[in-house]
């Protein structure tokens, strides 16, 4: 539950502290198609790492690629049967280059790569192909038999017919993750975390029986398992070496073992050993032991996440999507997050919530700024800009959590946005634009730091409250809580006192962007007529609309018309902060008391519905700008240089690989499950 996704592509938010950018001519743009832009990120300081550290990053990058097929299979059960067919068509096509079908097919291929399957990574909707079924059938007819990975008892013709349905039938597997509480959210979701037979009621009943409400250190039930119905009985198919995804997990273990051989210290060796044990056994107690060791290792510079972690892909929020992050500490920028985490107790004690729900003792919130050096699984190509782990509440309370900000990723977003015309189109006036130019970069970073490092870590539940009590609204309300904590503190004089901000008005840049994004510009990510679905987007709209409505009487924030266009106008930033504090108190109360009804009322009233007129206006205005609403990344290629004996003497990074080449290489080198 604890990651922060980038808000919408914004305008030139430079001015401040883009310290890295080693190479002025670095080409951030890799590809663009449909609603997606693929960027490159630079890995500053890689060349100044020790050979041992470079080796470790390399081995971990291999482990990050080894699990790629897992996320494809988790996302939908047909993804790994479809991918080789699409890729064989893509590489073998010999028809006219200007054919409309072929162009549409290329776009579809790129979309499927980006989604790690047939669904959009963010909206969860199935991609709509713009090429014809006849084109697809004719291309499939040319492919050799070994491209078709049939199931037992399935003929190639049956598989072809099935794939045609998978690609072209809009009602079949329409949504990867459904959050529509009026339906059976499991049966309404195309995700392969459930086998398609088991119902929501059966799954809830299955886990309710396993859970002991008195257990103060519960395992993360269902985190590493597919739930199926076999012979009328609900069973877990656990992901581990000798279970589901075993062949991919074997490769991951191999590379983790290599990484262990060059670990920086004993603490790191110990947690890698635990992680390997967990991958071997699938035992979630071992995973908790690993998580504790990992959270407590704050000394190592090289660090990584590799496993079944975030549960956004599960309609019930239990099973973790497989993901990988490889990174190393950015020492200079970490001074900022250390200043924040070092004052964690102060922030907790001054939080505008019911004191009963404050944490009396904030434990070990460690925070650092990192340089991402490889992204994998669910974190690739679309990635987070901040992560806070582990997710288990009791581990966070007893052993602390690690919070990281991925600065080189944020920087790549910013650099790629220079001169895109966003501010000119959407920001109300020149002084506000100037404010954003001057302070949005740093306040956005601080927002991420505060959200991850303090927001998610703050507060506590009333005794006996189930941490899953908010059900399908849990993720939205948790993200809202963390955002509100960050927003509430951005104007606080404490930030100047601890030296992370130099201007008491800087926060206004983030406030303006937040309202603009939540009320208007994020709608660019949604098709006309649809609701807001994704948890972070729901949270942002919830906060922005709630503030707009509750500040109406005092005209704190308004939507105004100028020249026929709608703009966000903030009249009273101080009162806006008060409102944010009030909403924080209420959402903390909802979480602490497990008040499902109040939480659901808030979400339904503010987070879901969209004014169709405003929506259309935003889409039209965006259309003039050519700013894709979603962005992600290709990884650098690790070049391993060896001597005559095969010993590694150096590792360098190459940033020139194209998006299609990278995706085809991954399928060639890391197809582990089909």
Contacts to Zn ion by CB under 5 A: 4, 479, 482
Q: Whose Cβ is closer to Zn ion: residue 140's or residue 482's? A: 482
User: CA-based angle 386:389:390, to the nearest 5?
Assistant: 165
Q: Whose Cβ is closer to Zn ion: residue 66's or residue 295's? A: 295
Name the CA dihedral angle for 586, 394, 370, 405, rounded to a multiple of 10 degrees.
-10
Closest separation in Å from C-beta 486 to Zn ion: 9
Q: Whose Cβ is closer to Zn ion: residue 476's or residue 672's? A: 476
Q: Whose Cβ is closer to Zn ion: residue 61's or residue 517's? A: 517
Distance CA 31, CA 342 (A): 41
Closest separation in Å from C-beta 447 to Zn ion: 11
Residue the block writes with tokens 């808000």: 7
Are 248 and 66 spatial neighbours (Cβ–Cβ below 8 Å)? yes
Residue 229 has phi, psi (to 5 degrees) of -115, 115
Q: Whose Cβ is closer to Zn ion: residue 301's or residue 310's? A: 310
Q: Whose Cβ is closer to Zn ion: residue 2's or residue 120's? A: 2
Residue 19 has phi, psi (to 5 degrees) of -65, -40
Q: Whose Cβ is closer to Zn ion: residue 259's or residue 482's? A: 482
Distance CA 231, CA 596 (A): 34
Closest separation in Å from C-beta 483 to Zn ion: 7
Helix (H) or strand (E) holding 482: helix 474-489
Work out whether the CA dihedral 80, 82, 83, 87 comes out positive or negative.
positive
Alpha helices, DSSP H only, in 351-419? 393-399, 407-417
Distance CA 563, CA 165 (A): 47
Q: Which two tokens stand for residue 135?
A: 């084109």
Q: Whose Cβ is closer to Zn ion: residue 5's or residue 435's? A: 5
Closest separation in Å from C-beta 446 to Zn ion: 15
Closest separation in Å from C-beta 604 to Zn ion: 21
Residue 106 has phi, psi (to 5 degrees) of -60, -40
Are 378 and 632 spatial neighbours (Cβ–Cβ below 8 Å)? no
Helix (H) and strand (E) counts for the chain? 24, 15
Q: Whose Cβ is closer to Zn ion: residue 385's or residue 634's? A: 385
Closest separation in Å from C-beta 422 to Zn ion: 24
Q: Which two tokens stand for residue 324?
A: 């990988």
The residue among 339, 385, 430 whose CA lies nearest residue 11 is: 430
Q: Whose Cβ is closer to Zn ion: residue 249's or residue 484's? A: 484
Distance CA 82, CA 168 (A): 12
Are 268 and 56 spatial neighbours (Cβ–Cβ below 8 Å)? no
Closest separation in Å from C-beta 482 to Zn ion: 5
**What residues contact 34, with CB distance under 8 A and at least 6 apart?**
107, 110, 111, 628
Cis peptide upstream of residue 328 (ω within 30 degrees of 0):
no
Closest separation in Å from C-beta 55 to Zn ion: 32
Distance CA 233, CA 541 (A): 41
365-377 and 401-406 beta bridge pairing: parallel
Closest separation in Å from C-beta 380 to Zn ion: 19
Q: Whose Cβ is closer to Zn ion: residue 291's or residue 432's? A: 291
Closest separation in Å from C-beta 444 to Zn ion: 14
Closest separation in Å from C-beta 182 to Zn ion: 26
Where are any strands of DSSP class E within 158-317?
225-230, 233-238, 302-310
Closest separation in Å from C-beta 542 to Zn ion: 14
Q: Whose Cβ is closer to Zn ion: residue 268's or residue 539's? A: 539
């Amino acid at each position: 539950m604890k990651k922060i996704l980038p808000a919408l592509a914004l305008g030139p938010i430079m001015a401040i502290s883009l310290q890295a950018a080693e190479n002025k001519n670095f080409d951030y743009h890799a590809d663009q198609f449909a609603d997606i832009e693929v960027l490159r990120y630079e890995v500053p300081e890689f060349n100044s790492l020790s050979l041992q550290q470079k080796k470790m990053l390399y081995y971990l990058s291999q482990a990050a690629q080894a699990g790629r097929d897992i996320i494809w299979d988790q996302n939908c059960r047909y993804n790994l049967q479809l991918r080789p067919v699409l890729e064989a068509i893509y590489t073998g096509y010999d028809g006219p280059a200007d054919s409309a079908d072929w162009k549409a097919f290329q776009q579809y291929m790129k979309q499927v790569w980006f989604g790690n399957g047939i669904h959009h990574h963010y909206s969860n909707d199935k991609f709509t192909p713009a090429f014809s079924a006849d084109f697809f059938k004719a291309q499939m007819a040319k492919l050799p038999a070994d491209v078709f990975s049939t199931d037992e008892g399935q003929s190639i013709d049956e598989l072809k017919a099935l794939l045609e349905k998978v690609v072209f039938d809009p009602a079949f597997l329409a949504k990867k993750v459904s959050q529509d509480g009026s339906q059976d959210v499991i049966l309404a979701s195309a995700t392969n975390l459930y086998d398609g037979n088991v119902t929501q009621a059966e799954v809830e009943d299955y886990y309710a029986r396993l859970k002991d409400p008195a257990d103060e250190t519960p395992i993360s039930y269902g985190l590493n398992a597919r739930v199926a119905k076999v012979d009328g009985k609900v069973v877990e198919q656990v992901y581990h070496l000798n279970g589901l995804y075993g062949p991919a997990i074997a490769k991951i273990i191999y590379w983790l073992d290599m990484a262990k051989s060059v670990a920086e210290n004993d603490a790191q060796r110990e947690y890698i050993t635990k992680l390997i044990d967990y991958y071997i056994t699938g035992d979630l107690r071992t995973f908790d032991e690993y998580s504790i060791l990992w959270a407590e290792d704050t000394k190592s510079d090289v660090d990584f996440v590799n496993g079944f972690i975030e549960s956004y892909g599960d309609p019930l929020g239990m099973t973790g999507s497989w993901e990988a992050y490889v990174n190393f500490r950015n020492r200079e920028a970490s001074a900022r997050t250390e200043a924040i985490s070092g004052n964690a107790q102060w922030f907790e004690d001054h939080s505008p919530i019911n004191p009963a729900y404050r944490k009396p003792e904030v434990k070990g919130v460690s925070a650092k700024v990192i340089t991402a050096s490889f992204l994998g699984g669910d974190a690739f190509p679309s990635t987070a800009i901040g992560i806070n782990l582990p997710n288990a509440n009791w581990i966070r309370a007893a052993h602390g959590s690690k919070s990281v900000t991925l600065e080189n990723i944020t920087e790549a977003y910013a650099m790629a946005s220079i001169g895109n015309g966003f501010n000119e189109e959407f920001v109300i006036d020149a002084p506000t634009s100037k404010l954003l130019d001057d302070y949005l970069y740093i306040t956005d970073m601080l927002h991420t730091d505060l959200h991850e490092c303090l927001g998610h870590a703050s507060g506590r539940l009333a005794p006996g409250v189930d941490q899953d009590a908010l059900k399908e609204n849990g993720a939205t309300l948790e993200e809202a809580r963390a955002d509100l904590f960050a927003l509430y503190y951005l104007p606080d004089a404490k930030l100047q006192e601890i030296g992370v901000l130099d201007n008491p008005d800087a926060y206004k840049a983030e406030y303006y962007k937040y309202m603009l994004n939540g009320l208007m510009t994020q709608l660019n990510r949604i098709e006309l007529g649809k609701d807001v679905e994704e948890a972070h987007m729901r949270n942002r709209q919830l906060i922005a609309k709630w503030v707009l409505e509750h500040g109406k009487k005092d005209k704190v924030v308004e939507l105004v018309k100028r020249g026929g266009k709608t703009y966000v106008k903030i009249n009273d930033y101080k009162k806006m902060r008060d409102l944010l504090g009030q909403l924080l108190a209420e959402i903390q109360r909802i979480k602490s008391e497990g008040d499902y009804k109040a939480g659901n009322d808030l979400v339904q009233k503010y987070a879901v519905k969209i004014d169709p007129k405003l929506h259309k206006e935003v889409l039209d205005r965006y259309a003039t700008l050519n700013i894709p609403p979603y962005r992600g990344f290709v990884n650098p290629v690790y070049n391993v240089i060896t001597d005559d004996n095969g010993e590694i003497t150096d590792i360098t990074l190459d940033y020139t690989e194209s998006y299609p080449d990278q995706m085809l290489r991954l399928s060639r080198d890391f197809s582990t499950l089909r």
